[in-house]
Amino acid sequence: MPRWCIGLDGVPLEWHFKFLEEIERGGGVCSRVRFLVCPVCGYRGGDFLVDVVFVDGGFGRLRLCGGGWGNVVKLLNNMMFGAINSITAEIFAICKKFGMDPKIFYETIANSGAATVSNLFKEVGSKIVNGNFEPVFTVELLHKDMMLGIEMAKRLGVPLFVSQNNQIPNELAKLLGYGKEDTASVIKVYDLFLKMQ
């Protein structure tokens, strides 16, 4: 019975079933990561998603995801992550080109209650504004998951008008040596292009 999953650091990580039982009971779980969605195969004969495990000791939730969908959900989730990450960096680059401090845009939108605001926008935006690229989720891991998701979609014959373009900043960031940094570091790709103009 499998006792591992791929963690956010990209290496096989043993998940003792005792840990999963604790989540199932609603116990507090501490983790160094801010959030994750990852498949755990074989626990109680099904595929589970461990979802929303917070660094500050918040609660994890255990969701049964039958039919082997755990890994599919993970890849689709990270494709959406890639879209939010890329557009956030791009919008901040436009702010810089206008000569507007991105902090003004960030604080205005983050506190507005607008439909465009998500927790990921707040997290990525804050990292860009503060120039903090300590990794929560690295560029190379996002690139890997998006690549797998794109390949999966292509095998199914789904046209990808958005996801393939969202992968370009990740590819460039990796080539420029930012692969080990947080995904917010794709802003550096835009910064480099703006300096070249």
pLDDT tens-digit readout, 56-110? 444 444 454 555 566 777 788 899 999 999 999 999 999 999 999 999 999 999 9
**Cα–Cα distance measured from residue 33 to residue 54, given in angstroms and rounded to the nearest whole number:** 6
Q: Are residues 115 and 147 in the same domain?
A: yes
Number of domains forming the structure of the chain: 2
Asked which of 42, 68, 94 is the last residue of a domain, the reply is: 68
Query: Do 79 and 40 have their domain in common?
Result: no
Is the domain of 93 the same as that of 188?
yes
Tell me: do 178 and 158 sit in the same domain.
Answer: yes
Residue where a domain stops, chosen among 44, 68, 92: 68
Q: What is the mean pLDDT of residues 4-17?
A: 37
For position 48, what pLDDT does the model report?
52
In degrees to the nearest 10, what's the CA dihedral of 122, 49, 73, 145? Answer: 70
Domain boundary among 68, 94, 118: 68
For residues 61 and 82, state if they share a domain.
no
Q: Are residues 90 and 183 in the same domain?
A: yes
| Cα radius of gyration (the chain) | 18
pTM over 0.85: no
Considering the domain architecture, whether residues 146 and 186 belong to the same structural domain is answered as yes
Range of the domain at 108: 72-196
Confidence band (pLDDT; 50, 70, 90) for 41? very low
In one letter, which amino acid is 179? G
